[in-house]
Structure 1
Amino acid sequence: MEPLFLIPPMPTRTTRILSSVLAAIALSACGNSSSRPAAQSTLDSGPVVAVINDRSLSAQEVKSKLDEQPLFVRSRYATMEKKKEFVDNLIRFELLVQEARRQGMENDPDVKATLEKAMVQKLLRKQQEAAAAAPLDEVELRKYYDEHRSEFIKPERIRVSHIFLVAPTADAALRTKARAEAVKLLADIKSKESDPLKTAFEVAATKTSQDTDSKSSGGDLGYRSREELTQAWGSAFTDAAFALQSASELSQVVETDKGIHLVKLQSRQAGMDQSLEQAKPRIEARLQGERRSKSMESLLERLKSQAKIEVKDSALEQIQIEGAENKPAASQPHP
């Protein structure tokens, strides 16, 4: 954020002052440092650049504020004239801080609330940084990888629909009849699949399929791996299904021990096979996040155990929530 140059020149003295004030506030907002007391030691901060009443502004503070600026803005303050402009904005801001203190604004409820939020945010950052400081060792990474292997190693899966006609191999007559019916169905579906809605297969499955688990959903079997399909319908079915390459492609008539099938490919999901080395960045981010969460939980548990806390339910119950339907709490039966 550029503290001064983004504000265009203004013709009147009043607007020039306002511009300077806004620039001073914008400059202070670039940093994340908290407000300092009016009287401040400048030991170990380099020489004093400016004194504003009882507040000394050190060279280190000026440099820190400059370092907070974006590089393209910072480069504009190389000359002495521009450095003075920069310091002048810091002086303006400090004068406003001192005036706000003089008027007692440090005790303003809004100011206190803002300060409390800033303190809590800084405490959280400090706690999380401390929790994440220790490096993760190879044992932790390997343990997580082994326990969550399914996140990093997944087989290719396909989503297929099928029409199934029961025809066990032992019943030759039924099988011949089912095969002929499937051939006829396939020809009929292909003649209708040019419909933009492409529902011919699903309609036929709903009407004709004898797979009770999938017929109501148009024969949809969902996403299955090669192993899952083989376990459910056999290797011939699986080979035919995985041989399909493009969405909506139909198989020829497929024969399995259970009967006769027509298969339609819906979509494919690529498999994944990540080694520990490949998965490390993801695992480290996950474990560091868990560390930070556990650290915060531990801190809050410790603070709660050391504090005296009492919640007044009767007072809480009286709080009315605007826009909500306020109902009295259900009375509890007496023992």
Structure 2
Amino acid sequence: MPRRSPRTAAEMRWAASCARASRGEKLTAPGGLIYASADMRSGCGALLVAMLALGACGKGPPEATAPAEQRALKAKADTAPGEVVATYQGRQLTTDQVRQEMERLPAPSRAYVTAPERKRQFVENLILNDLLFDEGKKSGYDRDPEIERQVSDLRKRLVVQRVMRQYQTPPEVTDDQARTYYDENPTLYSTTQIHASHILVKDEDTAKQILAELKEHPEKFADLAKEKSTDTGSAQKGGDLGMFGQGRMVPEFERTAFALQVGQLSDVVKTQYGYHIITVTERKEGERKPFESVKEQIKATLRNKQLQDQMQGHFDALKRDAGLKLDEAALARITPPAGGPPVPAGGH
């Protein structure tokens, strides 16, 4: 159950796509760039093909490219606009087009293609991408319903990303607001560590029933965690989360856990994951960090929270205006496809 991230859903999908590409899995990348499978990644050319696919992910929103790098690339482009670097099948590939594709690569990959041989391989791969696309069209793959569906899905994701960027302007946070947050959260920003366990369930009534039983029989915590907790990552260990310091858990969980004494049971705690009951089995006291040393960190936390609240408010309004209604019974009957071990509800 790591700290809540300010990433948007669209950005998460970008990260997931990049991870799939790095493992050599099939990736539909923006611009139709080809991907590298696991048995292709041994040579220089194959590595560059993989980098092409990853570059589409690594770029993300246009703002991800550093301004200095953008200026440098533009300056180079201005020196030789439209210079033809390759011809094939009556077509031309210009230096500007090559630089545009290089801009799509993440910074480390751009550095990789500065060597002459790697630059040549990069250009050849761009051309091969075109030639393979031509070959695919001759086979009718461009009219394949599955490919058309993936293109439609990609178009939708890109449009959603563009909309989401409108809601990603971080609000201003003052020193006074940061100081107030620091003062109101005395357990935060310290070197104190705790060893905690928890039981996570989906609804509040179930959590209250478990808490009532634990108050009568606190020794049953581990057994009830194994039996009831939906956080499969810790349930099999009796709810044990191990030793951790500040910043590892979502704020609601963290505030409660660090306020507990050893052996104490929490009340029911609600987070984005569900309803928790927490207990602390060990505590190592530390010193609280001075305000000035954590001021910027606090401001970032508050900006992210305000941004998330604004976005959540917009999402709620969209769902309300759309008249969204969920059939809980039908939802319960949906069985996700099998695909590896279960993901813990707490996000471990």
Q: Give the number of the structure with larger relative contact order, counting CA–CA contacts within 8 Å between residues 6 or more apart.
A: 2
Give the TM bin, normalised by the shorter chain: 0.3 to 0.5
TM-score between the two structures when normalised by the length of structure 2? 0.40
